[in-house]
Amino acid sequence: MKLKPKLFLTYLLISFLSLILAGVLISSSERKRSLIRLEKYMFSQVQLLSSIYSGVLTDSLSPDKIDSLTDELSHKIDGRITIIDQTGRVLGDTDKRGQDLLNMENHRERPEVAQAFEGNVGKSVRYSATLKMDMLYMAYPVKFQGSIIGVARLALHLTELKNLQSSIVKIVVLGLLVAFVFSLVLTYGFSSKVTRPLRQMMRIGEKMSKWDFSQKVKIKTKDEIGELGEIINQMSAELSLKISQITQDKSQLQSILSNMVEGVLAVDSSGKVLFFNSALSQAFDLYTSFYGRPYYEVIRSHELNEFIKEILSAREEKRKEITFIHPIEKDFMIQSALVEKHKGKDFFALFVFHDVSELKKTERVRRDFVANVSHELRTPLTSIQGFVEALKDGAINDEEKSRRFLSIISQHTKRMNEIISDLLKLSQIESRDFALKIEPFPVKEFFEEVIFSLKPSADKKSQVIETSLDNQNQKVSGDRYRINQALTNLLDNAVKYTAEKGRIKLESRDKGDCIEIAVSDSGIGIPLSDVPRIFERFYRVDKSRSKELGGTGLGLSIVKHIIEAHGSKVEVKSQLGQGSEFSFCLRKA
């Protein structure tokens, strides 16, 4: 609806409602005053009735006599009188006689009668089904020697009050018609004058809503509407500047938050989530529908929730390292920051999640590596030192002992060289300067080369090494030297952990886009629980057996790094007591 008719109708509605309200108040006030006067009159009359019937009820008169007395008194009072005994039975009533009187229902539960039996003045206003009109009832206890022996009730109709209300309504309606005509003329001219400049401001406001701040309000008056026009012009200029600045700042902030590797969470002082960036959303599978919800419903972590609660209550900036299990296991260093709003009256807290999982993992690997290297080198060094001391103490003069001791020292020295050699290989593979020399080479010739180097070891245990190729002319692409290292380690393990007269198989399988190379054996196998860890440095399934066979514990780790450098992955299938299969894929040449 347009403003002009709206102003017009508003004034008319105000006038109409004012008159209605005045009429209702006057009607209500007059009704109340009339009721008060009527109640005072009825109170004096019902007290008189109570004193009259106090003696009548104690004389044990018959209901007919009591009813006759009731009719006689009713003519003098000009109201309906009802006399009720202490059981609630009606003994006399102005409007009932004879059998009708005897058939009247018990009145003890009527509101005004019940109040009178409690020793109070009972009164009630309700519609009378008998007389078809609103009635005012007042009841008073009839007492004898301090005990209530009955109730005297007086009822008067409210016709006079109803007529008074009708007269007031007529006056209000007449005043409403006069006000309507007067307002019709007055508001039409006023609304036209007010809405004309407002229409112009509205058109300019529409353009401002569409980011067009070029239009200005033409000011012709010096009143409040003219001042409003000046304010709109000033607001238009300031909005244009502010929106430009806010858009630029928001774009920069959004870009910074979106490109942050760290997760960011903002929580207001009441604990409601205000914002989180895409990094945190991806880490914990969050959605924008979580905005406005309590922080403990967004990320399910007791330790984090306690930390946020502590920051919000203490209002102190702290940092804490927390490990999360769900949705994935990760370690975060969480830094909090408090941002005040409205000059310190309110604040919100920022939490920056630094993912330190890789650092923790690297630290654990470093500690384990140092511990493992120390352990692996300590054993041969201790043995060497012991036998050297024995030689120095005189065993060198015993030719048989000295030869045996020197042989043992030589074995331990060889083992240390093997460990250091494998460590250097791993170090070289993991270094930034490590580069593969990719070239094509035939699979069949490559298999023969690897088998040739390990055949003596297999022959000592009467083992059979078989080969199987889908295609005799297969070629793969990779660093031949590094792949040779990896396959030699796998085949060497197969020979070591396969019993005498066992079978070892070297296969190449065409997988469409790559060639899968597999080494399988009929050896001791690997427990399922150990499979995920066999590629860790120095990890051995059976430590005593591995040392007996001369392994360094680094071979599978070297295999893993070489194959991953070729963009593939080593797959393991094993069953305890039945053998193992190690496989990886290389691109076709």
pLDDT score recorded for residue 549: 52
Average the pLDDT over 190-207 and give the result. Answer: 73
Mean pLDDT of 522-549: 76
Long-range contacts: 161-168, Cβ < 8 Å, 24+? 161/31, 161/34, 161/35, 162/134, 164/27, 164/30, 164/31, 164/34, 165/27, 165/30, 165/31, 168/23, 168/26, 168/27, 168/30
Question: Is the distance from CB of 377 to CB of 303 less than 8 angstroms?
Answer: no
* Tokens 């920022």, located at residue: 350
Going by the DSSP 8-state scheme, the letter that residue 60 receives in this structure is T
Compute the mean pLDDT over every residue in the chain, rounded to the nearest whole number: 83
What is the predicted pLDDT for the residue at 506? 95
pLDDT at 547: 52
Q: What is the pLDDT of residue 450?
A: 93
pLDDT reading at 529 higher than 90: no
Which has the minimum average pLDDT: 15-19, 94-98, 383-387, 402-406? 15-19
Say if residue 545's pLDDT is above 60: no
103-126: per-residue pLDDT in tens? 888 888 889 989 999 989 998 888
| Bridge pairing between strands 464-469 and 503-510 | parallel
What the block records as the tokens of 288 is 């924008």
Residue 216's pLDDT is: 77
Per-residue pLDDT at 509: 93
pLDDT at 353: 94
Q: Which residues are 194's β-sheet partners? A: none
C-alpha span between 457 and 579 (Å, rounded): 18
Q: Check pLDDT > 80 for residue 344.
A: no
Identify which has the larger pLDDT, 314 or 195: 314
8 A C-beta contact, residue 264 and residue 282: no
Least confident range from 166-180, 203-217, 381-395: namely 166-180
Q: Is the dihedral of CA 297, 299, 300, 302 positive or negative?
A: negative
Q: In b/e form, how buried is each residue of 324-349, taking b as 16+ CB within 10 angstroms?
A: beeeeebbbbbebeeeeeeeeeeebb
Tens digit of pLDDT for each residue in 232-272? 788 877 887 887 787 787 778 778 877 888 999 999 999 99
Rounded CA gap, 177 and 331, in Å? 80
The mean-pLDDT minimum among 3-17, 51-65, 491-505 falls in 3-17
Long-range contacts of 356-362 (CB under 8 A, 24+ apart): 356/321, 356/331, 356/332, 357/329, 357/330, 357/331, 357/332, 359/331, 360/331
- Residue 515's closest CA among 446, 414, 572? 446
Closest CA to 469 of 429, 436, 502, 509: 509
CA pair distance 2, 565, nearest whole angstrom: 75
Q: What percent of the chain has pLDDT over 70?
A: 86
**Mean pLDDT highest for which of 64-68, 109-113, 308-312?**
308-312
Residue 208's pLDDT band (boundaries 50, 70, 90)?
A: confident
Structural domains of the chain, ranges and CATH numbers in brackets: 3-163 (3.30.450.20), 260-352 (3.30.450.20), 360-430 (1.10.287.130), 439-588 (3.30.565.10)
Give me the pLDDT at residue 550, please: 53
Angle, helices 159-209 vs 224-259, to 10°: value is: 60
- The predicted-structure confidence for 487-510, as pLDDT tens digits, reads as follows 999 999 999 999 999 999 999 999
Q: Which of 25-34, 190-199, 405-414, 462-471 has the highest mean pLDDT?
A: 462-471
Q: Residue 513: which of 481, 487, 483, 477 has the closest Cα?
A: 477
Q: pTM for the full model?
A: 0.42
Measured in degrees and rounded to the nearest 5, phi and psi for residue 479 equal -85, 105
Check residue 19 and give its pLDDT: 66
Looking at residue 132, what is its pLDDT?
Answer: 72
